[in-house]
Amino acid sequence: MPKAKVKPAAARARFAPWADRAAVPLIRFEGVTKRFGAVTAVDDLSLDIYEREFFALLGPSGCGKTTLLRLLAGFEAPDAGRVLLGGEDLAGVPPHQRPVNMMFQSYALFPHLSAADNVAFGLRQERLPKAEIAARVSEMLRLVNLTGKERRKPHELSGGERQRVALARALAKRPKVLLLDEPLAALDKKLREETEFELMALQERLGTTFLVVTHDQEEAMIMADRIAVMDRGRVVQLAPPEEVYEQPSTRYVAGFIGDVNLIETRVGKKKTLDSDIGAIRAAGVKAKTGATVWLALRPEKMRISRERPAGADNCVEATVHDVAYLGDLSVYRVRLAGGRELKVTQANQTRRLARPIGCDDKVFLSWAPDAGVVLTR
């Protein structure tokens, strides 16, 4: 099955405190290392996160993203380096005294308590006045659209409603930072998509800094202002979603974010790229002649047709060997004469009257010189 289509980032206009050299980060990881026996989970990592930012740590299992979250929450202590929040070194500060709260993947709701009592639990532990607790619980349940379901227990709620109770409970103590560990993993696809936009709206309304850990590239692309792509305990690219997708820094990032065709090439004398599919014209070739580089070419940046396009800068002939119809787009897997396989996607903009491109059809793939990104590592 093809990977899920990556949707456009929903970044807020003009929100970019990281671009202001005078801006002071709310969260700072300074040369942080964390080991578990012989395994280094976080490796000399430095990272700044700003107030009101919706920030995503993205990567596969074992890359260190959840460990980083737990270091900030106080559930783990670094072996080296510092974790600062609001300029304060958090070393020695126990979890319950840190101005952060975590929403766990499992939600961890008390099954014998109602939705309202689950939300109120942390506030009662702090011995706040009853009137203040009632007002804050009501406010939180209203924010997550659960008014009228206050008395229901977790087993009487849907998966999405339980997720909202957990979110309301995490926000009730008004933390400076809300930590979300794979918060949407238990939801079905349709509900997950709805909740992504609800979380974005809620975060912007409250002005709370959200730090989300996820392995879901689409989830990070939709919700985050910035994404830190992690691999083996290090950040390999840190940028807004559109930059991570359109300008990946390495083959690893290009392959992890969305679908990509990676073609190994060698730089020719006229800055063309020599490959097993022929000479490729590409923009932004800065490597020396003879150097090995890789062309990262997204499937949607290519065109597929039965007729050879006139005047195309790059064009190769291929045979379709697999087609997936996804409603809004079609995915084609094609095989070139030398055996290389490529993937191309095409938007289904109109209802088809003519015969669509199908398996075993001879086709032509074409793309512009600036359609791909030339990677040196």
Q: Is 259-375 in the same CATH topology as 17-254?
A: no
pLDDT in tens, 330-340: 999 999 988 89
Report CA-CA distances (Å) from 121 to 89, 114, 136, 149: 28, 10, 12, 17
In contact, 210 and 222? CB cutoff 8 Å: no
Q: Where does the pLDDT of residue 76 fall: very low under 50, low under 70, confident under 90, or very high at 90 and above? A: very high
Dihedral of alpha carbons 262, 265, 267, 273, sign: negative
Query: What is the rounded distance in angstroms from the CA atom of residue 177 to the CA atom of residue 69?
Result: 11
Task: Give the per-residue pLDDT at 354.
Answer: 61
The Cα 156–Cα 134 span in angstroms is 22
Q: Return the minimum-mean-pLDDT range out of 13-17, 76-80, 239-243, 327-331.
A: 13-17
pLDDT of 10 strictly over 50:
no
Mean pLDDT within 264-273: 90
Distances, alpha carbon 238 to alpha carbons 141, 230, 262, 357, in Å: 34, 9, 21, 39
Residue in this structure with the two tokens 């490729």, named with its chain if needed: 280
Q: Is the pLDDT of residue 152 over 50?
A: yes
Q: What is the C-alpha separation between 249 and 77, in angstroms, rounded?
A: 30
Higher local confidence (pLDDT), 202 or 233: 233
Average pLDDT across the chain, whole number: 90
The more confidently predicted of residues 353 and 377 is: 377
Q: Is the dihedral of CA 16, 19, 22, 27 positive or negative?
A: positive
| Of 6-10, 70-74, 365-369, minimum mean pLDDT range | 6-10
The mean per-residue pLDDT over the stretch 310-328 comes to 91
Residue 8 has what pLDDT? 42
Sole residue written with tokens 């809004």 = 328
Strand, helix or coil for residue 56: strand
Q: What is the CATH number of domain 17-254?
A: 3.40.50.300
Model pLDDT, residue 353 = 54
Check residue 104 and give its pLDDT. 79
Residue (of 330, 301, 304, 331) closest to 317 by Cα position: 304
Q: Any idea where the domains of the chain sit in the sequence?
A: 17-254, 259-375
Give the CATH fold of the 259-375 domain: OB fold (Dihydrolipoamide Acetyltransferase, E2P) (2.40.50)
- The mean per-residue pLDDT over the stretch 65-75 comes to 95
Give dist(CA 228, CA 18) in Å, integer.
13
Tens digit of each residue's pLDDT (9 = 90 or more) over 280-303: 999 988 889 999 999 999 999 999
Confidence check: pLDDT of 83 > 90: yes
Query: Quick one: average pLDDT of 158-187?
Result: 87
Average of per-residue pLDDT across 115-140: 90
The H or E element containing residue 177 is: strand 177-181
